[in-house]
Amino acid sequence: MFKVKVPATSANMGPGFDCIGIALDLYNEVEVYESDKPLHFIWECEEEEVPEKENFIYTSMMDVFKEHDFPIPNVKVIARKCNIPMVRGLGSSSAAIVAGLTLAYALMGKDFDKDLLAYKAWVIEGHPDNVVPCFLGGMTISVMDEGKPYTTHVPIEDRVKFMAVIPPYKTETKQSREVLPKDYTRADCIQNVSRASMMINAFNLKDYHLLRTAFGDRIHQPYRLPLLKDAAYVFELFKENGAIGEFMSGSGSTLMGVFLDDCQDRKLVIEEKLKAIDPLFRVELLNVDRSGVVLSKI
């Protein structure tokens, strides 16, 4: 029947807390086939199974059918590929929501309106910095103004590469939001507005020497990075190996180094050093995904 391919996303990118994010070329795939039983879920991934009733693929599909008063179809939903590591700051939960919404609309025979669905996913997730780039691809800035969503894309050259260092330990977004203050000083606000603006212009003008400063943040990283025992070392490794900047991906635990051009050799160096600490460290060298979610018939 249908297949969806959904990209990983890296939210915040330093100062863009809860509004800026980027889609990357690491994908999960979910398939739907006719069945003789009402919608049921099959987990074929190597990752630890998220049970059906708690699984955002399943729950977001069921929510759509309920909202539209649509009879639950006789289908099996198969989580076929899970390349996006779970609970690591690369948008696995958003990818699940995006997959579920897209498949539910396909099964209802409704038009595949990415903007409308991105907005729905934004409401479910609570913040847009993963779900919007996951739907639309590329690097996005999203703003809600009096209940109306606005999104704009930031141009990124193909030569910009994202090196994701994925630690063996998880960071739940829910918990890592609890360590953040409720209020910020004017100085903190100025710091983030100035850095986020500079980051966007650095990408716009390809003025990459500004990026390290521009990725500076005072809203979340100062509170979250100290909880990640290897963060300082990983950032040092990025710097020593020619990164043009670094930030925490989403709410962690993944740490992201930004590089230019071919940096496969530097990936190997960093990987070797990290595996000496713990062989379960994973390092992925990623490009920007420009398509967002892709729905196809099978």
Ligand X SMILES: Nc1ncnc2c1ncn2[C@@H]1O[C@H](COP(=O)(O)OP(=O)(O)OP(=O)(O)O)[C@@H](O)[C@H]1O
Q: For binding to ligand HSE (CB under 6 A), which residues are involved?
A: 11-12, 17-18, 127, 129-130, 173, 177, 220, 250-251
CB-facing half-sphere around the CA of 9: CA atoms within 13 A: 34
Number of H helices, E strands in the chain: 10, 11
Residue number, 9 or 198, with CB nearest to ligand X? 9
* DSSP letters spanning 185-204: -HHHHHHHHHHHHHHHHHHH
Residues whose CB falls within 8 Å of the CB of residue 295, separated by 6 or more in sequence, listed in order: 2, 3, 4, 102, 103, 106, 112
How many whole angstroms separate alpha carbon 86 and alpha carbon 273? 23
Out of ligand HSE, ligand X, none, what residue 86 binds, judged by CB under 5 to 8 A for its kind, is: ligand X
Q: Which stretch binds ligand X (CB under 6 A): 53-61, 145-153, 232-240, 259-267?
A: 53-61
Interaction residues for ligand X, span 93-132 (CB under 6 A): 93-94, 96, 130
Residue number, 93 or 140, with CB nearest to ligand X? 93
How many CB atoms are located within 10 Å of the residue 209 CB?
Answer: 10
Residue number, 55 or 221, with CB nearest to ligand X? 55
Out of ligand HSE, ligand X, none, what residue 92 binds, judged by CB under 5 to 8 A for its kind, is: ligand X
Can you tell me whether residue 94 is helix, strand or coil?
A: helix
Residue number, 32 or 219, with CB nearest to ligand HSE? 219
Which has the closest alpha carbon to 25: 167, 143, 153, 134? 134
Q: Is 250 in the site for ligand X (CB under 6 A)?
A: yes
Binding positions for ligand X, rule: CB under 6 A? 11, 50, 54-57, 86-94, 96, 130, 172-173, 250-251
Residue ranges for the known binding site for ATP are 85-95
